[in-house]
């Protein structure tokens, strides 16, 4: 059993499975990776405790960010090796202020270094860096047009926060008709409970939550299937 699943009550797992949730999901022909908001503003500087990271950036997730970072880097390297599109999102706080309960909604401008990508996962010139003004990578952005142009029918998600921008993007990806997959070790949140609960709910309704190893095997099968046609 995966670590996040250990936080879900066993009776609820059984009930969902009995009701027909959390069924299998098959990928399509061509996948893209969406790296959601893995910037210093949502991570905090390396080596800080969660309390220290939140002092630096109120939205930071602290140690959970850096525990996931090598796995996020491995997932990105996998997509690069297969020559598949990679999209990095970041929060464009200067364009339209975030509104809502989070304190970031009161900011007048993006804090320095907030949208810097950690060196471990930094985008290359060939990658697509997508500014967004709300939680979802799809909301009033050109993402869908880009994916259609690239011939994408399958989306793989990683990033932060599992309960916030990742979940919003996954639901919108599902709503736009894509086969949606979430790599659990490559997502993180400031709350372990919120991380587990949202992986559980996404896996039940909107996506297949898979391990990094499962994602690699899936992508390789997709490549072989396309090559055989």
Residue 2 within any structural domain of the chain: no
Compute the average pLDDT of residues 146-175. 98
Task: State percent of the chain over pLDDT 90.
Answer: 83
CATH number at residue 165: 3.40.50.850
pTM (2 decimals)? 0.93
Task: State percent of the chain over pLDDT 70.
Answer: 93
pLDDT at 151: 97
Q: What is the pLDDT of residues 192-205, one digit of tens each?
A: 999 999 999 999 99
Q: What is the pLDDT of residues 7-41, one digit of tens each?
A: 999 999 889 988 989 888 999 999 999 999 999 99
Q: What is the pLDDT of residues 98-145, one digit of tens each?
A: 555 565 545 556 788 999 999 999 999 999 999 999 999 999 999 999
Q: How many CB atoms lie within 10 A of CB 63?
A: 18
pLDDT at 102: 61
- DSSP per residue over 126-162, as a string? TSEEEEESSSSSSTTSSHHHHHHHTT--EEEEEEE-I
Give 168 or 92, the one with higher predicted confidence: 168
Residue 8 within any structural domain of the chain: no
CB 40 within 8 A of CB 118: yes
pLDDT at 129: 98
Residue 164 within any structural domain of the chain: yes
**Domain count of the fold of the chain:** 1
Helix axes 167-175, 192-205, angle to 10 degrees: 10
Give the residue ranges of DSSP H helices in the chain.
Answer: 10-19, 40-43, 50-56, 63-81, 143-149, 167-175, 192-205, 212-228
pLDDT at 82: 96
Residue 15 within any structural domain of the chain: no
Residue 70 within any structural domain of the chain: yes
Compute the average pLDDT of residues 73-80. 98
Domain that holds residue 147: 28-228
| Span of 16-20, 96-100, 152-156, 187-191 with lowest mean pLDDT | 96-100
Residue 16 within any structural domain of the chain: no
Residue 11 within any structural domain of the chain: no
Residue 32 within any structural domain of the chain: yes
């Amino acid at each position: 059993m995966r670590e996040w699943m250990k936080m879900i009550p066993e009776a609820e797992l059984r009930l969902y499975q009995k009701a027909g949730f959390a069924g299998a999901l098959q990928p399509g022909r061509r996948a893209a990776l969406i790296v959601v908001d893995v910037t210093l503003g949502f991570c905090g500087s390396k080596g800080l405790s969660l309390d220290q990271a939140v002092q630096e950036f109120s939205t930071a997730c602290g140690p959970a960010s850096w525990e996931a970072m090598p796995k996020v880097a491995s997932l990105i390297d996998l997509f690069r090796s297969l020559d598949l599109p990679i999209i990095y999102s970041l929060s464009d706080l200067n364009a339209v202020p975030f509104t809502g309960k989070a304190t970031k909604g009161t900011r007048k401008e993006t804090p320095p270094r907030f949208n810097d990508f950690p060196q471990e996962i930094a985008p290359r010139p060939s990658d697509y860096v997508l500014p967004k003004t709300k939680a979802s990578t799809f909301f009033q952005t050109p993402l869908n047009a880009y994916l259609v142009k690239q011939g994408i029918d399958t989306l793989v998600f990683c990033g932060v926060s599992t309960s916030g921008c990742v979940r919003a993007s996954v639901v919108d990806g599902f709503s736009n008709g894509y086969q949606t997959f979430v790599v659990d070790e490559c997502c993180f949140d400031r709350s372990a409970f919120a991380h587990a609960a949202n992986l559980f709910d996404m896996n039940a309704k909107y996506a297949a939550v898979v391990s990094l190893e499962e994602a690699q095997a899936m992508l390789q099968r997709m490549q072989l299937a396309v090559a055989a046609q």
